[in-house]
């Protein structure tokens, strides 16, 4: 299927403009993500209508805690990724073998909104693997979803070009972006990426007006020093705003780090405190139960606005409003 956002080059080569890798691809080859290919001098997507998994999820599972809380989202994944994270939890669909075979079944992008409505979802989420690399599916399915009254969510590593972001400008409502570390060497060594483009994406997303939440998977001994967590929290607070929710989540062994120890709860609670001390209003602990990091607190009077148990949400009073002092919290509540 014809791909978007690429340029022809001399000698039947093509250059992809979707992500900061900017792959130059020779005839018959694929880009680093394994799902964008040069077919006789034209770029094609191998996954424009390939869905590896789709299911109904609580929107909190993305995680998004300030976007239509308590609602269901129809989650859709395809195949491929522009990162090589050694700790990937979805490596069966994200890491391509390079043989051009992609896992999944064919579903036309303009059918996804129907499935979402049949399942009584409020939104469609492009997730499980990196949505940047199945851009054409997202681009088409998102337009259809919005035309039929559904919200559109991306769960992304943030390694996207401006061209990709602006092409989706009117088709996306909310995003959760990983900020995996504040060190470029971590991005290079553990992910096969770079830090600065992710920081740039976060700032662009803020400027685009999409609802934004940020996630950091805290991996013992790799990205969990207080100094690094402070840098992440400071960046979010000063560049993205203190109302931007930050999710600090527990690592469990996966892919090439299957034997690495899991994140202990006290480390996540330390990250929670670091986020709050940096000035963030909403810091959440994920992947482990914790009383400290599960409730939404009012930034004015510090009372509880929403309780959570697992993915269950208990609101108190008007959505997004503190029941005690009536402060309106940042987010998309209905």
What are the residues binding ligand SF4 (CB under 6 A)? 16, 18-19, 21-23, 31-33, 36, 82, 132-133
Q: Which is nearer to ligand SF4, 113 or 134 (CB)?
A: 134
State the minimum distance, in angstroms, from the CB of residue 161 to ligand SF4. 8
C-alpha to C-alpha distance for 118 and 114, rounded to whole angstroms: 6
- Report the residue number, 47 or 229, with the smaller CB distance to ligand SF4: 47
Residue 22 or residue 289: which is nearer to ligand SF4 going by CB? 22
At closest approach, how far in Å is the CB of 93 from ligand SF4? Answer: 15
Structure tokens given for 202: 């976060």
CB closer to ligand SF4 out of 14 and 237:
14
Place of tokens 């079944």: 105
Question: Least distance (Å) from ligand SF4 to the CB of residue 194?
Answer: 12
CB of 16 to ligand SF4, least distance (A): 3
Which residue number is nearest to ligand SF4 in terms of Cβ?
A: 31
Q: How far apart are CA 125 and CA 7, in angstroms?
A: 29
Torsion on CA atoms 67, 69, 72, 75, rounded to nearest 10 = 40
Task: Output the six-digit token pair for 186.
Answer: 């971590």
In whole angstroms, give the CA distance from residue 206 to residue 190. Answer: 26
What residues pair up with 178 in beta bridges, in sequence order?
215
Look up residue 60 and give its DSSP letter.
Answer: G
Query: Closest Cα partner for 156 from 130, 195, 179?
Result: 130
Q: In this complex, which beta carbon is closest to ligand SF4, that of residue 79 or of residue 268? A: 79
Q: Give the nearest distance from C-beta 181 to ligand SF4 in angstroms.
A: 20
Buried b (16+ CB within 10 A) or exposed e, 281-299: bbbbbbbbebeebbbbbbb
Write the DSSP string, 249-301.
Answer: EE----GGGTTSPPPPHHHHHHHHHHHHHTT-S-EEEESS--STTSSEE-TTT
For the CB of residue 113, give the shortest distance to ligand SF4 in the complex, in Å. 24
Please, what is the minimum distance in Å from the beta carbon of residue 4 to ligand SF4? 11
117 or 163, CB closer to ligand SF4?
163
* Least distance in angstroms from the C-beta of 235 to ligand SF4: 24
Taking residue 70's Cβ as centre, other Cβ atoms within 10 Å add up to: 16
Instruction: Output 97 or 309, the one with its CB closest to ligand SF4.
Output: 97
Shorter beta-carbon distance to ligand SF4: residue 21 or 267: 21
Spatial neighbors of 316 by CB under 8 A, at least 6 apart, are 304, 305, 306, 307, 323
Least distance from ligand SF4 to the Cβ atom of residue 67, Å: 26
Helix 265-277 vs helix 226-235: crossing angle, to nearest 10: 40
3-state secondary structure (DSSP) of residue 94: helix
Token pair in block for residue 40: 């006789």
The residue among 47 and 124 lying less far from ligand SF4, judged by its C-beta, is 47
């Amino acid at each position: 299927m014809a791909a978007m956002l690429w340029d022809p080059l001399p000698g039947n080569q093509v250059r992809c403009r979707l992500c900061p890798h900017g792959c130059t691809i020779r005839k018959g080859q694929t880009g680093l993500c394994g799902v964008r290919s040069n077919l006789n001098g034209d770029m094609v997507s191998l996954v424009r209508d390939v869905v590896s998994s789709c299911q109904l999820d609580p929107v909190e599972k993305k995680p998004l805690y300030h976007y239509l809380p308590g609602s269901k989202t129809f989650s859709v994944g395809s195949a491929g990724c522009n990162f090589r994270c050694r700790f990937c939890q979805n490596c069966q669909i994200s890491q391509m073998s390079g043989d051009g075979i992609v896992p999944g079944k064919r579903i036309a992008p303009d059918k996804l909104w129907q499935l979402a409505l049949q399942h009584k979802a409020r939104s469609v989420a492009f997730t499980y693997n990196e949505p940047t690399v199945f851009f054409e599916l997202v681009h088409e399915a998102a337009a259809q979803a919005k035309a039929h009254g559904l919200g559109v969510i991306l769960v992304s590593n943030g390694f996207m070009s401006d061209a990709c972001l602006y092409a989706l400008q009117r088709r996306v409502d909310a995003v959760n972006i990983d900020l995996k570390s504040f060190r470029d060497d971590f991005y290079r060594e553990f992910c096969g990426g770079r830090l600065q483009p992710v920081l740039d994406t976060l700032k662009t997303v803020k400027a685009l007006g999409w609802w934004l939440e940020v996630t950091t998977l805290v991996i013992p001994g790799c990205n969990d020093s207080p100094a690094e967590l402070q840098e992440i929290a400071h960046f979010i607070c000063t560049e993205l705003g203190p109302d931007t929710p930050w999710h600090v989540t527990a690592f469990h062994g996966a892919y090439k780090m299957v034997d690495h120890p899991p994140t202990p709860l006290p480390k996540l609670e330390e990250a929670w405190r670091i986020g709050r001390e940096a000035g963030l209003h909403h810091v959440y602990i994920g992947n482990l139960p914790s009383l400290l990091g599960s409730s939404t607190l009012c930034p004015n009077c510090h009372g509880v606005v929403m309780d959570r148990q697992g993915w269950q949400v208990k609101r108190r009073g008007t959505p997004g409003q503190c029941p005690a002092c009536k402060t309106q919290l940042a987010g998309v509540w209905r």
